[in-house]
Chain A
Amino acid sequence: MLLELKDVHVHYGKIEALKGVSLQVDEGEIVSLIGGNGAGKTTTLKTISGLRSCSSGSVFFEGADIGSMPGHRRVLAGIGQAPEGRGIFPGMSVHENLLMGAYARKDDHSKELAEAYELFPRLAERRSQAAGTMSGGEQQMLAIGRALLSKPKVLLLDEPSMGLAPMLVQQIFSIIEEINRRGTTILLVEQNAQQALRLAHRAYVLETGRIVRSAPASELLDDPQVRAAYLGGDVGGGDTGDTAGAEGEAGKVALGKTAPETGKADGEDAPDAE
């Protein structure tokens, strides 16, 4: 168990945003957290990265309780995050942004830097441009690349598809998959449930601060209730059903195998869905 939340409650004033969230992330997994607006997805991530403190419950990372560890130390422990709304440093250049990702590290970060530029060639082109002047997609790439510079054991991604064109979403998701293949565990928060469930191995469904479902991602893709709530339901009629069914099959088959193959299967399926 790499990361575990046990009955976590978080309050904003008197409002309880998380009402006892428990979840687990194993090493090497892609776990997705889906849910609507205000379900508590971002709050969950903030609690893990230490930007929010939980009023009760505990957060375990590699077996140790990190509930009282300040956010800036959790980075060193191995929790990296690409925050909601990208959260890049707009006045810094792309390169400076990436270097900020390695801020806490004392060791050599040239390997991760090269890797970030390799995964996102676009960033290399824009190396000296002020990050705030880039497009949304580029900023998202930068946020993920920057998080990689801290050499995280688990990478927390908060809605990487937000506000991006479908083509770009595909691209970002396949890069996320690649990052996972290279050995980084990923906890992905998404409103774009279809994409997220196809990418993830397991998923949790969050509703108004509670986990209401937890299952292998493929099962949730099939689940009529989840489909109605998060996947646009049966509006598309038999067509959508067929596609989802096929996806589910692919996912199920893939789940039994190793992660890289899951990635491959998803990659091939992706164009059909659009």
Chain B
Amino acid sequence: MSDNTNKTANTAGWRGALSGPLEAVRTHWDRAPGWERWAVYVLLIIGALFLPYEGLAPVMSPESAWSTILFYPIGIYVLLALGLNVVIGYAGMLDLGYVAFWAIGAYTMATMAVKHGIGFWPLLPCGIVLAAVSGVILGAPTLRLRGDYLAIVTLGFGEIVRKVAENTNWLGGTRGINNIPHPPSHEGVWFAGVDLFTYKIRDARPYYYLLVAVIVLVVIFSKRLEASRIGRSWTAIREDEDAAEIMGVPTFKFKLLSFATGAAIGGAAGVVFAAKTSYVAPANFPFLLSATILAAVVLGGAGNIPGVIVGAFLVAWLPERFRGLADYRDLAFGAILVAMMIFRPEGLIPSRQRKAEMAEGGGGMGHMGAEIDTSGSEAEVGSR
């Protein structure tokens, strides 16, 4: 591994300036004992809990309510990026319609709560399962495609879900669904000046804490998956799908599992989002958002959870922070993304493994070179 790091640093030259101290930290972290890791985890969670502190607001977001943007976009982006990371970072499949699963979660909450009076807590698992099932339904016929073919199909799926929502009266059409109930409140549990479990319209902080809890669970879940046999199968599929198959990895099954897992996380984000905003409409789920979440994952470092979280935070926060630049902020944001891809294409905090994949020339993005896997289906062959 260290050989590779040196090689990358040499070839990258001044581009690798950022990587020096970061690599030292990484090396230290890789050897860190268990207690040190846990101490850092606990500190990070405590840090996240104190993030809505009002004193930070003038620095972090002088122009909009800090605790509100902490929930959306920042928190939601982080959760979505973690979900998309399972698909892109772990299994190496390019999904351009990820926002659809978020929409499915949100609409599950909206329709079931408004029309059938079901509460938030029973709907959270419902939204997760429905999103996962829709992931399987989308995945089963399309996961035989690879690379950019898969990207196009998922892009289409994202648009289909949005269009269906726009054109279905039962789903509220373009006007969407109003008056989605908040999660049930339990008053009187105070933390740092916040009534923790009181979910009202005014204070965004309890929702933020709810989101932090979901994110922590998702991070633990992702980490466990990554280290498991499933995680190894995903790595193998990402690095060489054919080789994985002839090693005995049931590639199709594991690709489907990755798709469903990512979708489930998106669904969870959707349910929480709908319960907070109490209003969902198709306009909330544009293609641009799928692209933004993808940018967050790639910018931060696909496959590496700290990287993905930092990437999502930056992608969500920078445009809010520089609201003052009004018309130019998207331009500035775009320039930052382009600069990133020139100077640090592997992402801010890449996983070492992906870095090695990129050094080898695979792009670290699975098989972007499109090839249609025809085993089992002759119909697809004809379309080539």
Contact = CB atoms under 8 A, between A and B. Distances in A.
Q: Do A and B bind each other?
A: yes
B335 interface: no
B357 A72 contact: no
A83 B362 contact: no
Contacts of B360: 90-91, 130, 132-133
A75 B246 CA distance: 6
Interface in A72-116: 72-76, 80-81, 83, 87-93, 100-101, 103-105
B247 A13 contact: no
B381 A13 contact: yes
Interface in B332-370: 353-357, 359-360, 362, 364
A137 interface: no
Interface stretch (B173-181, B232-240, B317-325): B232-240
Q: How large is the interface on B (under 10, 10 to 19, 20 to 34, 35 or more residues)?
A: 35 or more
Contacts of A89: 235-236, 239-240, 243
A101 B7 contact: no
A233 interface: no
A55 to B, nearest CB: 7
A128 B3 CA distance: 10
B376 A133 contact: no
A128 B352 CA distance: 13
Contact of A103 (B7, B247, B357): B247
Contacts of A103: 232-233, 236, 247-249
A11 B374 CA distance: 9
B91 to A, nearest CB: 13
Contacts of A218: none
Q: How large is the interface on A (under 10, 10 to 19, 20 to 34, 35 or more residues)?
A: 35 or more
A49 B233 CA distance: 18
A74 to B, nearest CB: 8
B54 interface: no
B4 A71 contact: no
B382 A13 contact: yes
B378 interface: yes
A87 B236 CA distance: 11
A11 B236 CA distance: 27
A101 B381 CA distance: 30
Interface string B210-221: 000000000000
Contacts of B251: 72
A51 interface: yes
A11 B372 CA distance: 13
Nearest to B351: A91
A133 B242 CA distance: 20
Given A52-B374, A93-B1, A130-B4, A71 B246 contact: yes
Interface string B81-97: 00000000000000000
Contact of B357 (A71, A80, A91): A91
Nearest to A71: B245
A41 B217 CA distance: 49
Contacts of A128: 1
A130 B358 CA distance: 12
A83 B248 contact: no
Contacts of B384: 12-13
Nearest to A90: B360
A71 B250 CA distance: 8
A90 B374 contact: no
B345 to A, nearest CB: 15
Given A75-B248, A130-B353, 19 more contacts: A11-B381, A12-B381, A50-B245, A50-B375, A53-B375, A72-B250, A80-B246, A87-B240, A89-B235, A89-B236, A89-B240, A90-B357, A91-B354, A91-B355, A91-B356, A100-B232, A128-B1, A132-B4, A150-B247
7 contacts: A74-B246, A83-B246, A91-B355, A93-B1, A103-B233, A130-B3, A132-B4
The 9 closest A-B pairs by CB, nearest first: A104-B248, A132-B360, A90-B360, A130-B356, A75-B248, A91-B353, A87-B243, A91-B357, A89-B239
